[in-house]
Structure 1
Amino acid sequence: MLVCFHRLGVRRIRNILKELQGIYLRSDELSEEFEKVLVRTSRDAFVVFVGNFLSTLFLAVSAIIVARLLQPENYGIYSVSLLVSSVLLLFTDFGIDSALVKYVSKFNALRKEEIVKEVVFKGLVLKLFVVSVVSVVNYLFAFELSTTLAERPELAYYVSLTSILTFSTALMNSFLAIMTALGRMKLRSFVMIMQSLTKLLLSPLLVLLGFGVLGALLGHIASYVVSCVTGFVVMLSYVKLKKPRENIVRSYDLVRFGLPLYLSGLLSVVLQRFQYVMLARIATNAELGNMQAANQFISLITLTIAPFSITLFPVFSSLEVRGAWREINELLNNVLKYMSIFTVQVALMIGVFSQDVIRLIYGRLYVTAPLYLTLMSVGYVYAPFTVTLSALLSGLGRTKDLLYSSAIQLLIMMPVSYLLISSAGPEG
């Protein structure tokens, strides 16, 4: 009997040792894989930073030139003309882009290329249908939309032209999401740089040729059309427009995952658009032009945020599917620390030197822009926490938590914004 128990004990110990050895080997493999993920993420973040920096630089130069050529009054008209398109863009996604990032990065990490192509094909077909409907509404109801949202019916012609902008921008965003999920950051940066460079070349040129606000608007629209066509050609060569044989992921699955994220983003953007619509009703064109000029410098802050926010979502998704929780925690802590250091410092510097920067770049005509820039920069002090946690929750599939957070923010900020803007104007 003792011999039997002894043999059973030895076998049990051997089995435990084998299990521990297997876990150790898997841990080593995962650690090696995690090191590769860190290297790839760092490289992708740098590529995104360079692409965003050049893109932002070209856009900033274009905005400065156009603002100086048009002067505050016409620059305000140009800004309001883009309002309707920016609002309608809220209804062109329904979380499809976020779902594309999630599923494409997930199956790409598992090296299942056929399923990846299936997700890309179904996502683009679904997005094309939604975007087409919204763009037609933008064109057919331009007068009603410009009257309702901005109380400027005289801008109906400009608003009708932005239907092309709505279509091309929405599709370009989907192409960028797919490139991000596939890790093709160089191509993503190339598309963004092409868009900004096209705008830099066309918008000032058309204004100088005497087209005024129309020229600036056409240059802006053309830049997104060029980028959209480029992205379409790339995706065309990838999926080859063949109906996928697999049926692992349905279009319904894309919407089901992305809808909470869409609603979360929608609530946040609705708050922003609510504030801007109120400003369009209350503020003068000159005040709106000053706000638009100040808003151009906020892109300097987003330069420190975008490389992390863009790359973290697919990285968290790929780590989550492998169950690498320790690596996720380590990555989160490091990224949060670095983002807090860089982003907060940049925001404070812009807020402190806002008056000098505005006068140097735009001149003395934009009187209230320094104050607006200071107020805007303060809101980005907490951006590292919100951006990092949003990417983490999205990658882990905890999309309902993001929805609850956005709902609470909307319930608090909407009445507060109404009271402050009504009483204090743009400063509120």
Structure 2
Amino acid sequence: MLNLFLSTYFSHKETIHNFTWRFLQILGKQGITFFIFILCAKLLTPYDFGIYNYTLAIIYFLIIFGDFGISTATSKYVAEYNATDKNKLKLVLFNSLILTISLGAVVTLLTLLFGSYILDDKYIYIIYVLPMLFLAPISSLYDGIFRGLKRFKELAIISLSIGLLSIIFVYLLVENYGLIGALISQSLFYLFLVLSLFFVYGNLCFQIDRQLMRTVFNYSLIIGISSIAYYLYSRVDIIVLGHYGYVKEIGYYELINKGFELMFLPFALLAQVLAPNITTYFSKKEYSKVRTKFNFFTKLIIPLAILMAILFYFTFPQIIKLFFAEYYVEEMLIAIFILSFLIPTKIWGVFQTQSFIVATGFAKIITVTTLLGGILNVILDVTSIHLIGFTGVFWVTLMIHSFNIIFQTIYYKHKIGQI
């Protein structure tokens, strides 16, 4: 057994180490966001907690347009140029920053001009998180560059340090200023993170390369449209609930969603660590290695995902009952039951998208299928809410996500099998 363990470790040493550092990095970045979430759930009223999540749902939708896939595309080209063209590698950050800041400025201007007309009394809350339109995409851009260069250790140390230091001011702001403090905390955290990444990375070569900019932007368009599509078939549920007055129910929805995020996290981290290697294989035309890895991880991930689904179904309701008794209601239990059936395909979908489909340049698959699913989701969400109320969005999610992920897997396997 020991020999088998050591053999497996040394065969996958780089992946295991990078995965460990990536986990610590996400713990710092996402952990502080989760910490704010838990504080809000405990300290705010259910209505204010709903407003908090509604505001974040809107700002993250706007951030999609501020980033528009540039950070993900940058990660791909950093990994590619690191293997094939060191001169191009030096120019990626500055040219990607130009794209990100330009898009952020446009989205900010449009929000300031039309936000109050669209959001009415909720507009004031958006102002407190508006800096995130620049800070979140820039932090994601640096994240993509560090990942592309496999500098997972440095990224982990920075994110974890900032996350731990932020706990103090986050707690004080939420405790003393409630909802407003929670929203300000989000912007402050991203500010400190971006400044730290900027000073540690350095290497900012101030040279405009229009061809490189077009290359990154053209691929980011596919990812950006895919991000919008993904939002429509997942996160738009919160906006729909808010539109129909289900503000408290948004809190129920987000508690379940956070449970899902924690469960998906290890698989997403593994995918992000694996992605640069898959990109390298593909750019060197070592297609057989891509197919072998895909088949191996299919057999590994899906059984694990089934076990995670069983664990989630039996433990998550007890966690809600113990720590968030106000949210332990019949609708919550029904939603947990429905979405437990989605977990295996959802985990596999999260993994294959980041580690294989996007990493090998087939992001268009995600764009087309998710866009169609997103449009259907909006239509069916509205219909189901009218018919059966709050829980209708979960039945819609189960149906659309399952079909979408299964189709993506079959189609992608067919495409790489032809190369």
Does the alignment reach a TM-score above 0.5? yes
Distance 2:184 2:339 in 1: 28
What residue identity is the alignment partner of 2:383?
Answer: L
Task: Tell me whether 254-263 or 340-349 shows the greater mean CA deviation.
Answer: 340-349
Which residue is 1:51 aligned to?
25
**Contact 1:304 1:343 (8 Å CA) reproduced:** no
After superposition, where does 1:243-254 map in structure 2 within 5 Å?
A: 243=207, 249-254=211-216
Q: Which of 238, 243, 266 is matched with 2:203 structurally?
A: 238
Query: What is the CA-CA distance between 1:314 and the residue it aligns to?
Result: 2.0
- Does residue 119 of structure 1 match 2:82? no
**Contact 1:94 1:258 (8 Å CA) reproduced:** yes
Which residue is 1:4 aligned to?
none
Gap change, CA 1:206 and 1:395, over 3 Å in 2 = closer
Which residue is 1:226 aligned to?
192
Distance 1:62 1:190 in 2: 21
Q: Give me the CA root mean square deviation.
A: 2.6
- Does residue 261 of structure 1 match 2:204? no
Q: Structure 1, residues 281-305: CA drift from partner, whole Å, max 9, x if none?
A: 2243322222222322222212222
Query: What is the CA-CA distance between 1:370 and the residue it aligns to?
Result: 4.0
Secondary structure of 1:397 counterpart: coil
Gap change, CA 1:144 and 1:366, over 3 Å in 2 = farther
What residue identity is the alignment partner of 2:187?
Answer: I
Q: Which of 396, 404, 407 is matched with 2:360 structurally?
A: 396
Q: Structure 1, residues 294-352: CA drift from partner, whole Å, max 9, x if none?
A: 32222221222221221233221111121222222222222233322333322331122
**Contact 2:28 2:162 (8 Å CA) reproduced:** no
Secondary structure of 1:416 counterpart: helix
Query: What is the CA-CA distance between 1:252 and the residue it aligns to?
Result: 1.0
Task: Tell me whether 375-384 or 309-318 shows the greater mean CA deviation.
Answer: 375-384
Which residue is 2:306 aligned to?
344
Distance 1:400 1:379 in 2: 23
Query: What is the CA-CA distance between 1:404 and the residue it aligns to?
Result: 2.5
Q: Structure 1, residues 15-71: CA drift from partner, whole Å, max 9, x if none?
A: xxxxxxxxxxxxxxxxxxxx9994322321222223334655554444223211112
Distance 2:38 2:88 in 1: 45
- Does residue 79 of structure 1 match 2:50? no
After superposition, where does 1:53-202 map in structure 2 within 5 Å?
A: 53=27, 56-110=30-84, 112-146=85-119, 153-194=120-161, 196-197=163-164, 200-202=167-169
Which residue is 2:171 aligned to?
204
Q: Structure 1, residues 85-110: CA drift from partner, whole Å, max 9, x if none?
A: 11211211233222211211011123
Gap change, CA 1:53 and 1:160, over 3 Å in 2 = closer
Query: What is the CA-CA distance between 1:249 and the residue it aligns to?
Result: 4.6
Which residue is 1:363 aligned to?
325
**Contact 1:90 1:266 (8 Å CA) reproduced:** yes
What residue identity is the alignment partner of 2:281?
Answer: L
Which residue is 2:294 aligned to?
332
Q: Where does structure 2 lack aligned partners over 5 or more consecutive residues?
A: 1-8, 393-419
TM-score for the superposition, normalised by structure 2: 0.82
Query: What is the CA-CA distance between 1:259 and the residue it aligns to?
Result: 1.6
Q: Structure 1, residues 164-198: CA drift from partner, whole Å, max 9, x if none?
A: 12221111111111111111112333344355445
- Does residue 413 of structure 1 match 2:377? yes
Query: What is the CA-CA distance between 1:126 and the residue it aligns to?
Result: 1.5
Distance 2:93 2:28 in 1: 28
Corresponding pairs, count? 382
Gap change, CA 1:373 and 1:53, over 3 Å in 2 = farther
**Contact 2:115 2:123 (8 Å CA) reproduced:** yes
**Contact 1:295 1:373 (8 Å CA) reproduced:** no
What residue identity is the alignment partner of 2:236?
Answer: F
After superposition, where does 1:284-299 map in structure 2 within 5 Å?
A: 284-299=246-261
Query: What is the CA-CA distance between 1:128 and the residue it aligns to?
Result: 1.6
**Contact 1:278 1:421 (8 Å CA) reproduced:** no
**Contact 2:40 2:179 (8 Å CA) reproduced:** no
Distance 2:131 2:340 in 1: 32
Task: Tell me whether 382-391 or 286-295 shows the greater mean CA deviation.
Answer: 382-391
**Contact 1:53 1:303 (8 Å CA) reproduced:** no
Task: Tell me whether 357-366 or 37-46 shows the greater mean CA deviation.
Answer: 37-46
Query: What is the CA-CA distance between 1:375 and the residue it aligns to?
Result: 3.6
**Contact 1:309 1:388 (8 Å CA) reproduced:** yes
- State the percentage of identical aligned residues: 20
Gap change, CA 1:233 and 1:44, over 3 Å in 2 = same
Secondary structure of 2:343 counterpart: coil
Secondary structure of 2:104 counterpart: helix
Gap change, CA 1:197 and 1:420, over 3 Å in 2 = farther
Gap change, CA 1:59 and 1:122, over 3 Å in 2 = closer
Gap change, CA 1:268 and 1:56, over 3 Å in 2 = closer
What residue identity is the alignment partner of 2:203?
Answer: Y
What residue identity is the alignment partner of 2:116?
Answer: F
Secondary structure of 2:301 counterpart: helix
Query: What is the CA-CA distance between 1:116 and the residue it aligns to?
Result: 0.5
- Does residue 305 of structure 1 match 2:267? yes
Q: Which of 374, 379, 385 is matched with 2:342 structurally?
A: 379
Query: What is the CA-CA distance between 1:224 and the residue it aligns to?
Result: 1.4
Larger Rg: 1
Q: Where does structure 1 lack aligned partners over 5 or more consecutive residues?
A: 1-34, 147-152
